[in-house]
Structure 1
Amino acid sequence: MPFSVAYCGPAPSPGDWRWNLDPALLVLAFVAMALILWRLRERNRTLALAALGVLIVVFISPLCAVSSALFSARTIHHVLLVAVAAPLIAWALPVDRMRLLSFATAVQAAVFWGWHAPAAYEAALSSDALYWVMQVTLLASAVWFWGAIRSASLPSAVGHLLVAMVAMGLLGALLTFADQAVYRPHLLTTQDWGFTPLEDQQAAGLIMWAPAAAVYLAAALWLLGRWMGPDSTVVRVDAEL
């Protein structure tokens, strides 16, 4: 028997595509959509609605339940939060030039690494309150980071994106090359899905190491191209977008 039950419910079996129909969460999603449609301008509205769509996939779609079974699914969940939803939210919000990019980069990395420490991860999956603390801090620190990128100079943004890429990739590499599974909540939940716990953990590491880190690399390369391109007089990210 699993020793804890995550917010998203007990681990499902393959084919059990269970949606999370938590009434409070559905009301919150509806209110967020109404506020977006009411308060934001067209471009910002599109970005915010896209971010809300990502959050619905993360918290309401069957991915929520599958992440109770597979650490690799939980990793996809977290990557969608910090590397997809967060930049969409950051670009939907007003620009704030006082963002402390170096500090934001360090905080985002510390929060992401901290919640993937086995003890912290286990605690978050044993308590609904801690689960939501984990989700909110992951998302908020990432929104801060991407907002700081948005308001930074192009050289600074490129450099800090590469730092974030290394932080993400290093954690992924550590998980990929670990010789034992370290996440106890998934020790009894992966076999039905055809994975040993170690294989599931290695898959999660590869997701962080390759596609997740590649998001930061792609953003850095795109900004580097703009910085060194024909219109090289533009030196701030928010002047580009």
Structure 2
Amino acid sequence: MHWAAAAALTAIFLPVSAQAHGLFDAHLLGRAPLLLTAVLVAAAWLLYVLGARKVPPRRSEALCFHSAMLLAVFSVFGPIDDWAESSTSWHMTQHMLFIIVIAPLWALARPLPQWRGVTGRFAQPLWTGILRAGRYPTLLALLHGAIIWIWHTPKLYVLALDNLWWHAFEHACFLFTGWLFWWSVLRANPKQVPQALMAVLLTLMHTGLLGALLTFGTVSFYGEGRSVDDQQLAGLIMWVPGGLIYLIGGGWIAWRWLTRMWRRQQTGAAREELG
């Protein structure tokens, strides 16, 4: 997968013409937020590749990480970002890629050992803070939920479209809080499973509510230039595929928990027989 990472890192910085959000064009200074985003994505990816040499990850974890990074590059620098400028449904597709695809893939990838293997003590407070935050699934679900609702209010939604700095910050909010949320629920220990399931259920409910509001809305919430039909499609994208992913996530958490309990019971039964 390292060759794919190298190719994607190179592609991030290739000149992109005829795109509203291209990295290199006549308005280079105006593209500073995208350039900064590209540098951060490239740095995170490069640190992982270097860290993997010191702390080899499992193949499944490496696949999850590289897949997530490829999707992140496509979502931020690909054509979908331009389509989102004028289409609410494409904008929602981009957001859902961040929230229910890229973020959980990062959580499953468990990249902290690789990053820590390179940064050492320099970034230890950051990694420690992330690990400690993972102990509170419900709190992180509330934080992530607040971010989702705040950025889908009409004023901030339009602000992110009109200003690249706010646009980049919006993406960072979705990705970081989404990663923390999925990290906390997918990596929950047996004692945290009830909280994790409650966090997933809460997220399923409030995102479904937001999706329903957009689906059944009869006026455009985000400006007269955006059609109601497109907005309703955006609501369905959040409501149906999003709800399905949260159900799958909750099912996986419950299955993992039940499997651990079954193994413990089997181990206990075997010990009793030997005893």
Partner amino acid, structure 1, of 2:171: Q
Identify the range of structure 1 (18-27 vs 96-105) with the bigger mean alpha-carbon deviation.
18-27
Q: Residue type of the partner of 1:181? A: S
Pairs within 5 Å for 1:7-26: 18=19, 20-23=21-24, 24=35, 25-26=37-38
User: Which residue of 126, 134, 137 maps to 2:170?
Assistant: 134
- For residues 124-156 of structure 1, the C-alpha deviation after alignment (integer angstroms, 9 at most, x for no partner) is 111111111111111111111111113423332
Cα displacement (A) at 1:231: 4.8
For residue 63 of structure 1, the aligned residue among 80, 85, 105 is: 80
TM-score by length of 2: 0.69
1:125 aligns with 2:161: yes
Does structure 1 residue 76 correspond to structure 2 residue 93?
yes
Give, in whole Å, the separation in 2 of the partners of 1:98 and 1:212: 24
* Selected match of 1:47 from 47, 64, 83: 64
Higher helix share: 2
Q: How does the TM-score come out when normalised to structure 1?
A: 0.78
| 2:49 aligned with 1:37 | yes
**1:228 deviation in Å?**
3.6
CA 1:159/1:56 → structure 2, altered by over 3 Å: closer, same or farther?
A: same
Q: Displacement, 1:167? A: 1.4
- Contact (CA 8 Å) 2:215, 2:234: kept in 1 or not? yes
Q: Matches of 1:216 and 1:149 in 2, distance apart?
A: 11
In structure 1, distance between residues paired with 2:94 and 2:161: 14
Q: What is the CA deviation profile of residues 2-41 of structure 1, one whole-angstrom value per residue up to 9, with x for unaligned ones?
A: xxxxxxxxxxxxxxx9595415255554444322211133
**TM superposition shift of 1:162:** 1.3
* SS of structure 2 residue aligned to 1:125: helix
CA distance, structure 2, for counterparts of residue 26 and residue 143 of structure 1: 19
Contact 1:19–1:61 under 8 Å retained in 2: no
| Alpha-carbon distance in structure 2 between the residues aligned to 1:80 and 1:180 | 25
Residue 222 of structure 1 and its aligned partner are, at CA, apart by 2.3
Q: Which amino acid aligns with 1:109?
A: G
Is this contact kept in 1: 2:200–2:246, CA < 8 A? yes
**2:247 counterpart (203, 212, 217):** 217
Partner of residue 14, structure 1: none
AA matched with 1:134: E
> How many angstroms apart in 2 are the aligned matches of 1:117 and 1:59?
21
Partner residue in 2 for 1:156: 195
CA contact (8 A) 1:180 1:198 kept: yes
Which residue of structure 1 aligns with residue 131 of structure 2? 96
The alignment-based identity, stated in percent, is: 27
The question of 1:201 aligning with 2:240 is answered no
What is the Cα-based RMSD across aligned positions, in Å? 2.4
What's the CA shift for 1:72?
0.4
Q: CA-to-partner distance for each residue in 1:57-102, whole Å, 9 max, x for gaps? A: 2112211111112110010100000111111222323482542211
Would you say the 8 A contact 1:37–1:45 is kept in 2?
no
